[in-house]
Amino acid sequence: MSLYSKARRPNDDDSTPPKLKGKQFVRLIVLIFLALLPVFSMVVQNALSLEEATALKSEGQETGNEIVFSTEIGHIVHDLALERGTSSLFISSGGDTDIYQRLLRIYEETDDSIGSLSHWLPYDKHYPDNFKSPEELKTHLAHHRSNVWFKQNETSVEKEIQFYTDINKMLIHIMSAVLSRADTSQLWTTIVAYQMLLGSIESANIEMNLGWTFFNKGPEGFSTDELIWYDEALAIGVSQLENAIVYNHAVEDDLEKEFYGTPHEKELTRLRNQIKKNKVSNAPAENGAKWLEVMDTYTHVLEEIDEKLSEEVLKIIDGILQQNNVRLSSGFSILIVVACIGPVIVLGVFKMASESQAVAANLEKVTTKLAVEQKKSDKLLYSVFPSIIVESMKKAEKVPAEYFDQATIMFSDVVGFTEATASLSPHKVIDLLNRMDHAFEAVFTRYDVYKMETMAGSYMVASGLPIKNGDQHAEQISCAALHLLKAGRAFHPMHIPYPMEFRIGIHTGPCVAGVVGSKRPRYYIFGNTVNIAQSLEKTAQPSKIHISSSTSELLVSLGGVFNLEPRGEVTIKDGVKMTTYWLSQKE
């Protein structure tokens, strides 16, 4: 007989109304239900967490496989770069058998790297047929290698460089496609640094091969196309290395330890300048040997750093997989424990469990709120200050001021900008400034220059600081200025019925630069060089570049592709007169 029926049965000795016993029973059922509800919720919650952990484990394994594959592609790129250099050396040597024996060993290493790939991407119709599978790629390489030995007269160093460069370019593209599919949100900065450094190594190897060709040519030097090819490889390599440093500062630390400041770096700078000037020295063979030596050292250092990044990425992925495994195991354990002991302890701890759940929910809410506020604070800091300044501020470090014995400063201003925007609404002015910044920022990123300030269509740009670049600062600023004029003419302001015309002033001289201020720190440049450059901009004519004699002398000493038209004496700040020039590009 049920408890309910027993409670409702008449009893001569029981004076308690039946309705009261019914309420007690209902209250008991309610209490049991309320006690079981948290346990049931925990079971459901852990089941969902278990499902999520299983999905995360699967995604983590997939991401790990994709990243391992990308590092395998990186090893193939390294091997092909070595094969490219040795093959070029073999062709330039006229078929030296010792070099060919070395080349055969490199062939085997490259084939082993391709053969050891863990998997391959599904074929994409946009990929060349040679990339349908690893076997197709090996067949393509084997055919080319055969021609190198049997048809030496039909190839050249330039063809060898181009052949391997095309393959590596496609492999790097494949690697980027693989990484874009993987969930790399927890290590994207390291991944980007790895990719950028791999691209820099590839460009450095191309530069090494082209440089060897330059010194091997003798007095004739490079043709115009060859010089452009070399400059492009150098610029891309330097740019990608700088980007790698931005995303992972350990790259710069390793370069400081292993290469920067060494005799090899100084020799590399000297030989690079000689190639860029396209002037072969009296000892091309000796310089060619030195070139191979320093470039081999340089690329070896970069490859070691890239390998460290690769190991770091794999280590992080391994840690993520371990965390997912722990989470999955914990989920199983918790689910089993809750399911087993829940019914036993439910009547004794349901109230405590309810209170604990409330405390936990409140604590989670507070923690989440604190995390959101912290993210807002960090976002605000990084939007106001450069990242290097933010990091120094967090560490309470000060950046000392530095004296630069020579740097080049450029001031530019949009002619009539204030008058043209006076009649515009604030919304249109902001829109115009944003589009200008987006368009002209791309100009400055192409050159070794540093944009100091931007204000209402005016720019202050410097080269030679905060990183010194030898005597290249005047040329870099001049190229950026010419490019800025061209970009201004091509820019469509929309809200203004005529094209942008820049007025530009450039001066070269000493200055001091450093971080100023504690509450609102800024990176400033001080010195008369800044004042002169600003005065030259004020006295310039629309769509013209006004430069000082010191800048002109430095450009002349470097050679370059500039026209310098004397303007005569111009009165600058405080009545001082100075001989100045108009700068333009040779046709």
DSSP string, 19-84: HHHHHHHHHHHHHHHHHHHHHHHHHHHHHHHHHHHHHHHHHHHHHHHHHHHHHHHHHHHHHHHHHH
378-398 pLDDT, tens digit per residue, is: 665 544 444 555 566 567 667
User: How high is the mean pLDDT of the chain?
Assistant: 77
- Which band of pLDDT confidence, cut at 50, 70 and 90, is reported for residue 457? confident
Q: How far apart are CA 324 and CA 331, in angstroms?
A: 10
Q: How many residues does the chain have?
A: 587
Q: In the predicted model, what is the mean pLDDT of residues 141-167? A: 83
Q: How many CA atoms lie within 13 A of 550 on its CB side?
A: 18
pLDDT at 106: 85
Taking the C-alpha atoms of residue 145 and residue 163, their distance in angstroms, rounded to an integer, is 11
Residue 92 token pair: 């330039």
Q: Compute the average pLDDT of residues 271-286.
A: 80
517: left (phi over 0), alpha (psi -120 to 50) or beta: left
**Could you name the CATH architecture of 399-585?**
2-Layer Sandwich (3.30)
**DSSP state at residue 573:** G
Contact 343, 86 (CB under 8 A): no
* Residue with tokens 């060494």, as numbered in its chain: 262
For 461-495, the pLDDT digits (tens) are 999 887 888 888 888 999 999 998 888 888 776 76
Confidence of residue 343 (pLDDT cuts 50, 70, 90): low
pTM: 0.43
Asked whether residue 310 carries a pLDDT value surpassing 60, the answer given is: yes
Question: How far apart, in whole angstroms, are the C-alpha atoms of residue 530 and residue 510?
Answer: 9
Going by C-alpha positions, the residue among 136, 120, 208, 108 that lies closest to residue 165 is 208
235 Cα distance to chain centroid? 15
Contact 204/240 with Cβ under 8 angstroms? Answer: no
Is the per-residue pLDDT at 271 higher than 50? yes
Number of H helices, E strands in the chain: 16, 8
Q: Which of 166, 162, 191, 164 is nearest to 176 (CA)?
A: 191
Q: State the pLDDT at residue 11.
A: 44
| Alpha helices for 93-133 (secondary structure H) | 97-115
pLDDT top residue among 530 and 434:
530
* Widest distance between CA atoms in the chain: 128
Mean pLDDT of the 417-431 span:
78
Distance CA(156)–CA(144), nearest Å, equals 12
Q: How far is CA 573 from CA 190, 465, 538, in A?
A: 49, 24, 10
Buried/exposed code over 311-350 (b: 16+ C-beta within 10 A; e: otherwise): ebbeebbeebbeebeebbeebeebbeebeeebeeebeebb
Residue 7 has pLDDT above 50, yes or no: no
**pLDDT band, very low/low/confident/very high, at 355 (cuts 50, 70, 90):** low
Residues 541 and 462: their CA atoms lie apart, in Å, by 21
Indicate if the pLDDT at residue 154 is higher than 80.
no
Contact present, 292 and 60 (Cβ < 8 Å): no
Partners of 445 in the β-ladder: none
Q: What are phi and psi of 223, to 5 degrees?
A: -80, 170
Token pair for 115: 């053969």
530-538 average pLDDT score: 89
Spatial CA neighbour of 508 closest among 474, 481, 484: 474
pLDDT of residue 388: 52
Q: Are 463 and 407 in contact (CB under 8 A)?
A: yes
What pLDDT digit, counting tens, does each position of 36-78 carry? 666 666 666 666 666 666 666 666 667 677 777 777 888 888 8
**Which helix (DSSP H) or strand (DSSP E) does residue 243 occupy?**
helix 224-247
CA distance 408 to 406: 7
pLDDT given for residue 277 in this prediction: 85
Spatial CB neighbours of 136, under 8 Å, sequence gap ≥ 6:
129, 130
> pLDDT at position 51, please?
66
Confidence label for 510 from pLDDT (cuts 50, 70 and 90):
very high
Going by C-alpha positions, the residue among 565, 49, 2 that lies closest to residue 327 is: 49
Residue 20 confidence (pLDDT) = 38
18: DSSP letter: H
Cα 580 from Cα 566, distance rounded (Å): 6
Q: What percent of the chain has pLDDT over 70?
A: 75
Position 556 confidence tier, pLDDT thresholds 50, 70, 90: confident
Q: Is the pLDDT of residue 81 over 80?
A: yes
pLDDT surpasses 70 at 210: yes
* Residue 122: pLDDT over 60: yes
Spell out where 313-457 has E strands: 402-414, 450-455
Instruction: Find the range with the poorest average confidence among 325-339, 447-461, 534-548.
Output: 325-339
> Which tokens belong to 404?
């630069």
d(CA 339, CA 431): 60
In which element (H, E) is residue 315 found? Answer: helix 284-384
Question: What are the CA-CA distances from residue 290 to residues 265, 303, 338, 493 (Å)?
Answer: 12, 20, 72, 51
Distance CA(41)–CA(35), nearest Å, equals: 11
The pLDDT, as a whole number, for residue 1 is 38
Residue 319 in tokens? 């840690």
Tell me the three state secondary structure of residue 274: helix
3-state secondary structure of 344: helix
